[in-house]
Structure 1
């Protein structure tokens, strides 16, 4: 595990205990609002990011801080993710679920160096489950090293975020998948999508948006566990290289199948 595994996790657990869970199912109407249509921000996002940013800066002085809410205010901070060390923070992934009083939702933190993913943490505040990965060091769930578990039998299961697609694209995806891939519900939480791939609940995830805070931790975990993520055209997923969309799968072979069915 990464040398900073424990202090980062301790910080995440403090945020979950002191900021997040006390407001779970207790948000007042004035404590959340829409940033853009259908995309909410809450007081929990804001307070969590403020504490995480301040404390992570102490753990690694000089590192950039790239938080989802900070980037909403100043998108240019993401442009420098390829420069030096950076903490990448999603203070409340699955915000819409949280505002509706249901799980999953999580806290996600990534650590990068010159745009390369170095480590990642995902904490589920409801269950306490912790996923962690370190580049060339493996993927762990609650301290146990994992390799992807591949389901046997039946059609491959694909969690596809169709609500970011045009109606025409949605229809095309469903037509292509018919009889070849079973489309399953998405959890509306990237921090749950990746564990489902690793644990064998799903085989494929198709993403239309790839904000760094949504994917830096989970993509590293998937790769360290033996899966694959790449852009729709097959280009590697890189934090500092702009691109649209990604396919994630529990093996390179499953990735190839998803690409052939959904895009070729």
Structure 2
């Protein structure tokens, strides 16, 4: 199933990927990479991508305002009222630290929400061309083929952990709790890649510390529509406007419960 705006959004994302994101990849000068905060980078490509996506999405649905990562970085008040009205949520380059270092993965993510409920989401890998999308109540798709989440097939379930946001002591604690039960692996520092990994059987669960809407709006819908779950540690489903932190995404409700048991000891 596709959303009414699907073809237009995909065409826009592919154009931005081809015309802006990929030409700058491994072609950035030092002055084109800016540190917004400690270990939080932005590049000229992020800003140009967001500008082009904002213009294009506004033309596709003029009734929806656009909330992009870089615009919020400049004006945090744009996040207010995220769960009211129609909103395009944009991550112009997810995985900027990878991108700025000349590494993959990275991606472009767009979601459309109405009164806090995500209606549709799109994730493009501009390197491979893989397009992931989902429609609320309509399924999850990879390159147009409907998919269902399935766990990994190894001897132990695999959990991706955002190690770059955890202290050495926190990581050691998780490793100790998981010993003999789960395999802990580092996340690719790219939600645009992590969510497909949960659906396609590479990972069974993922622990996120930060849950900013542009990182999770499209991916959480994709995972849920594929049969997975994305929940706060207390068990509440993730919502884009709740402003909280910490959650587990998993390929099934059972795997989510197992991952929570690891975290809680």
Identify which range, 145-154 or 193-202, moves more after superposition.
145-154
Instruction: State the partner residue of 2:31.
Output: 30
Instruction: State the partner residue of 1:165.
Output: 166
Work out whether residues 153 and 201 of structure 2, in 8 Å CA contact, stay in contact via their aligned partners in 1: no
Work out whether residues 41 and 96 of structure 2, in 8 Å CA contact, stay in contact via their aligned partners in 1: yes
- Structure 1 residue 90: deviation in Å? 0.1
Distance in 2 separating the partners of 1:50 and 1:103: 23
Work out whether residues 106 and 190 of structure 2, in 8 Å CA contact, stay in contact via their aligned partners in 1: yes
Work out whether residues 66 and 78 of structure 1, in 8 Å CA contact, stay in contact via their aligned partners in 2: yes
SS of equivalent to 1:80: coil
Distance in 1 separating the partners of 2:116 and 2:154: 38
- Structure 1 residue 117: deviation in Å? 0.8
Distance in 2 separating the partners of 1:116 and 1:224: 13
Which residues of structure 1 form unaligned runs of 5+?
A: none
Work out whether residues 163 and 187 of structure 2, in 8 Å CA contact, stay in contact via their aligned partners in 1: no
Which residues of structure 2 form unaligned runs of 5+?
A: none
- Structure 1 residue 260: deviation in Å? 1.0
Aligned length: 264
Instruction: Write the mapping of 1:206-225 to structure 2, written as runs, cut at 5 A.
Output: 206-225=207-226
**Cα deviation digits, residues 175-218 of structure 1 (max 9, x gap):** 11111110112111000000000000110100000000000000
Instruction: State the partner residue of 1:67.
Output: 68
- Structure 1 residue 242: deviation in Å? 2.2
Work out whether residues 232 and 263 of structure 1, in 8 Å CA contact, stay in contact via their aligned partners in 2: no
**Cα deviation digits, residues 110-165 of structure 1 (max 9, x gap):** 10000001100000000000000000000000000000122224111111012212
**Cα deviation digits, residues 55-94 of structure 1 (max 9, x gap):** 1011111212100000001111112111110000000001
Instruction: State the partner residue of 2:261.
Output: 260
Work out whether residues 152 and 158 of structure 2, in 8 Å CA contact, stay in contact via their aligned partners in 1: no
Instruction: State the partner residue of 1:131.
Output: 132
TM superposition score normalised by structure 2:
0.97
Distance in 1 separating the partners of 2:149 and 2:232: 20
Distance in 1 separating the partners of 2:245 and 2:100: 27
RMSD across aligned positions (CA): 1.0
- Structure 1 residue 233: deviation in Å? 1.6
SS of equivalent to 1:259: helix
SS of equivalent to 1:52: helix
Instruction: State the partner residue of 1:40.
Output: 41
